[in-house]
Amino acid sequence: MPNVKVHSLFTEFDINLFKSGKHFRLYEKLGSHLIEIDGVKGTYFSVWAPSAKSVSVIGNFNAWNADEHKLNVRWDASGIWEGFIPNVGKGEVYKYKIQSNNNDIWTEKADPFARFCEHPPNTASIIWTADHKWNDKDWMSYRKEKNGLDKPYSVYEVHLGSWKKNADNKFLTYKELAEDLVSYVKEMGYTHIEFMPIMEYPYDPSWGYQLTGYFAPTSRFGTPEEFKMLVDTFHQNDIGVILDWVPSHFPEDAHGLGFFDGSNLYEHPDRRKGYHTDWKSLIFNYGRNEVRAFLISNALFWLDQYHVDGLRVDAVASMLYLDYSREDGEWEPNIYGNNENLDAISFIREFNEAVYSNFDGVQTIAEESTAFSGVTKSVEHGGLGFGMKWMMGWMHDTLQFFQKETIYRRHHQNDLTFSMTYAFTERFMLPFSHDEVVYGKQSLVYRMPGDEWQRFANLRLLFGYMFTHPGTKLTFMGGEFGQTSEWNFEQSLDWHLLQYEGHAGIQDFVKDLNHLYKSSPAMYEKQFSPEGFQWIDYSDHDNSVLTYIRKGHNEENDLIVVCNFTPIPRENYRIGMPKKGKIKEILNSDDVKYGGGGNLNKVIKVSTKASHGYKKSIEITIPPLGIIILG
């Protein structure tokens, strides 16, 4: 048998789909695949390199000699090189040695479709099969219900390398995370976990946002089947899994996608469209059919092979605009003379259509920081087709307000109320993400003004306001217990802080907020509809008090929310009573169990005295820097 046997997994139909950019299961064809031919076991390799003169598979099995295993180019102008190498099996490391049509250019590249990669700083691909027997049949059968837009959606955002370290100060493995992280997220009451990128990446300080192994879970924490086991364990505990996905850019590392076959294969050849000056990275060529097929295949791969429930798409704004972070003269308008990247917009729409047409009960979430219209509108109606969008304006305005000394808040209450003028223009997720606790911004608790007691009271109020505001929720790890230092990707969270009352109180409060969110239909049934929210009073600037109603399908489930943004308790504070019957305090951030002062409303009497346009009213005590929820 020759060193490389002629063989193909591609049909003519596959090639036609690939060339037209419509093959969305390329991971079943391209890459390395363990197969058997004529009783001989080995590996089939295929790689797209249309500008290559020759392509060889190199590895330990041939002493990295490019003359030993040369692949065969297909005859159909697809640019695909392929072949079967006998007696090369699982666990072998390999790369592609590519000679371009320009004989002076040679590249050594990791496999773009590799399922497993060497542990950085090593850069080779590994032949692998991620065998795993899934035990999440129940979750997958009712995921559509759990993951719906009218269901509670509280996300815990995690960087796996720094959530917690073991006794030797090393990463927790996927196996260890399946015990510690799953039990913690379940105990805290979150409905979903979101992983910052777990696809293979070479540079730790990138946090995973500069990928080289798009189809490989990072080897830092274990094997691909162990990552499947982690996802499976979350599902068995009724917790959805969201992955950060990065189709916006990729690094220039020598073994990566850049200049892959001696040409601008994956990146746009025009540096005005193909290079990010901020991130020193390359931008995909969204107008090239094969590149679109690569990216959409990658999205579907994680949903298909890893049972993932959602994709949070990073840096969407950088994709949408040709002038993103560019000065005049550094970008070229589109054919209509404006700054929209038409190829990228077309790609995003096709990506969302492919995701939602192929998988039930999943969501795509856009991290999009501009006022681009129709991000969550359906493609059919001219939108981008995302399920949700991060509400960046709300996040910035809210943090800006909370950072102000309380004596000045009366002059800036519109920073909070303004969000309700646009809250239902998209389906918004409210994020307090990793980006808000790095680069000198300080941790959430240390962005709060006042003494230590006020800082913690402010943070409880911040979380309470977030959970009662319309929209789904996302909090970054550490915020839920008042991490005091900025996030450092090289260190574990400061779990020792939980020995202190204030930190333990924050954690208990967030836990109770999560459970209240999940058990209160008024908090989620109409979270994307103006019918789900109503002001009682947003004009009491003098007292810095907001009162509003959250509504579901059944009026009996309506909740009344009262926020006091000053350290002065408001006693005998009268508000209109929009509900019939009795009313009681369900949650109070000033409860002593949360580290508060214990200003509770144990008995609330309904008066026939009119207030705020309602025939009846109640008098309550609003605790200092506190939020109370009545129902």
Taking only the tens place, the pLDDT of each residue in 490-519 is 999 999 999 999 999 999 999 999 999 999
SS3 276: strand
Distance (Å, rounded) from C-alpha 553 to C-alpha 551?
7
Pairing of strands 428-432, 472-476: parallel
Decide if 547 is inside a domain.
Answer: yes
Per-residue pLDDT, 286? 98
Residue 1 pLDDT > 60, yes or no?
no
Total domains, the chain: 3
Give yes or no for a contact between 200 and 222, defined as CB atoms under 8 angstroms apart. Answer: no
**Within this chain, do residues 166 and 112 fall inside the same structural domain, yes or no?**
no
Boundary residue ending a domain (493, 521, 540): 493
Beta-carbon contacts of residue 252 (< 8 Å; ≥ 6 apart): 258, 280, 281, 282
Each residue's pLDDT tens digit, 52-104: 999 999 999 999 999 999 999 999 999 999 999 999 999 999 999 999 998 78
Q: Nearest-CA neighbor of 513 among 466, 444, 554?
A: 466
The number of residues making up the chain comes to 631
Residue 597's pLDDT band (boundaries 50, 70, 90)? Answer: very high
CATH number at residue 539: 2.60.40.1180
Average pLDDT over residues 464-483: 98
Decide if 1 is inside a domain.
Answer: no
Each residue's pLDDT tens digit, 311-356: 999 999 999 999 999 999 899 999 999 999 999 999 999 999 999 9
Per-residue pLDDT, 2? 73
Decide if 520 is inside a domain.
Answer: no
Range of the domain at 114: 12-127
From residue 374, alpha-carbon distances to 366, 529, 602 in Å are: 11, 16, 45
CATH number at residue 94: 2.60.40.10
Distance (Å, rounded) from C-alpha 453 to C-alpha 449?
10
User: What residue type is assigned to position 79 of the chain?
Assistant: G
SS3 609: coil
Residue 169's pLDDT band (boundaries 50, 70, 90)? Answer: confident
**Within this chain, do residues 445 and 352 fall inside the same structural domain, yes or no?**
yes
**Within this chain, do residues 457 and 317 fall inside the same structural domain, yes or no?**
yes
**Within this chain, do residues 464 and 390 fall inside the same structural domain, yes or no?**
yes
What DSSP state is assigned to residue 11?
Answer: -
CATH number at residue 398: 3.20.20.80
Per-residue pLDDT, 102? 80
Residue 167 pLDDT > 60, yes or no?
yes
Give yes or no for a contact between 440 and 483, defined as CB atoms under 8 angstroms apart. Answer: no
Pairing of strands 72-73, 80-86: antiparallel
Cis ω before 112 (30° cut-off from 0): no
Chain center to CA of 207: 13
Q: Diameter of the chain by CA atoms?
A: 94
Give yes or no for a contact between 240 and 195, defined as CB atoms under 8 angstroms apart. Answer: no
Decide if 256 is inside a domain.
Answer: no
**Within this chain, do residues 467 and 544 fall inside the same structural domain, yes or no?**
no
Distance (Å, rounded) from C-alpha 6 to C-alpha 467?
59
User: 450: alpha, beta or left, given left = phi > 0 and alpha = psi -120 to 50?
Assistant: left
Distance (Å, rounded) from C-alpha 524 to C-alpha 146?
12
Q: Which two tokens stand for residue 565?
A: 């943004």
From residue 404, alpha-carbon distances to 122, 401, 446, 461 in Å are: 48, 6, 12, 14
Catalytic residue among 92, 225, 226, 314: 314
**Within this chain, do residues 385 and 468 fall inside the same structural domain, yes or no?**
yes
Mean pLDDT of the chain, nearest integer: 96
Boundary residue ending a domain (466, 493, 520): 493
Q: What b/e sequence results for 150-184 when a residue is b if at least 16 CB atoms lie within 10 Å of its CB, and e otherwise?
A: bbbbbbbbbbbbbbbbeeeeebbbbebbbeebbeb
Residue 391 pLDDT > 70, yes or no?
yes
Beta-carbon contacts of residue 616 (< 8 Å; ≥ 6 apart): 576, 577, 606, 607, 608, 609, 610
End-to-end CA distance of the chain: 77
SS3 621: strand
SS3 614: strand
**Within this chain, do residues 112 and 165 fall inside the same structural domain, yes or no?**
no
Distance (Å, rounded) from C-alpha 88 to C-alpha 393?
53
Q: Nearest-CA neighbor of 547 among 427, 413, 425?
A: 413
Give the angle 123-295-362 at the CA atoms, nearest 5°: 115
Decide if 276 is inside a domain.
Answer: no
**Within this chain, do residues 570 and 603 fall inside the same structural domain, yes or no?**
yes
Average pLDDT over residues 362-388: 97
Give yes or no for a contact between 78 and 19, defined as CB atoms under 8 angstroms apart. Answer: yes
- Its pTM stands at 0.96
Distance (Å, rounded) from C-alpha 515 to C-alpha 520?
9
Pairing of strands 559-564, 626-630: antiparallel
Residue 168's pLDDT band (boundaries 50, 70, 90)? Answer: confident
**Within this chain, do residues 487 and 387 fall inside the same structural domain, yes or no?**
yes
Per-residue pLDDT, 233? 98
Decide if 7 is inside a domain.
Answer: no
Catalytic residue flag (residue 314): yes
Decide if 133 is inside a domain.
Answer: no
Q: Which two tokens stand for residue 460?
A: 């409880």
What DSSP state is assigned to residue 487?
Answer: P
Each residue's pLDDT tens digit, 519-534: 999 999 999 999 999 9
**Within this chain, do residues 364 and 241 fall inside the same structural domain, yes or no?**
yes
Residue 14's pLDDT band (boundaries 50, 70, 90)? Answer: very high
**Within this chain, do residues 299 and 426 fall inside the same structural domain, yes or no?**
yes
Distance (Å, rounded) from C-alpha 250 to C-alpha 252?
7
Q: What b/e sequence results for 87-117 when a residue is b if at least 16 CB atoms lie within 10 Å of its CB, and e otherwise?
A: ebeeebbbbbbbbbeeeebebbbbbbbbbbb
Give the angle 533-534-536 at the CA atoms, nearest 5°: 145
Decide if 272 is inside a domain.
Answer: no
Per-residue pLDDT, 522? 97
Neighbours of 508 (CB within 10 A): 18
Per-residue pLDDT, 78? 97
**Within this chain, do residues 445 and 323 fall inside the same structural domain, yes or no?**
yes
Distance (Å, rounded) from C-alpha 478 to C-alpha 530?
32
Residue 455 pLDDT > 90, yes or no?
yes
Distance (Å, rounded) from C-alpha 142 to C-alpha 360?
10
Catalytic residue among 232, 244, 367, 558: 367
% of the chain with per-residue pLDDT over 90: 97
Give yes or no for a contact between 404 and 352, defined as CB atoms under 8 angstroms apart. Answer: no
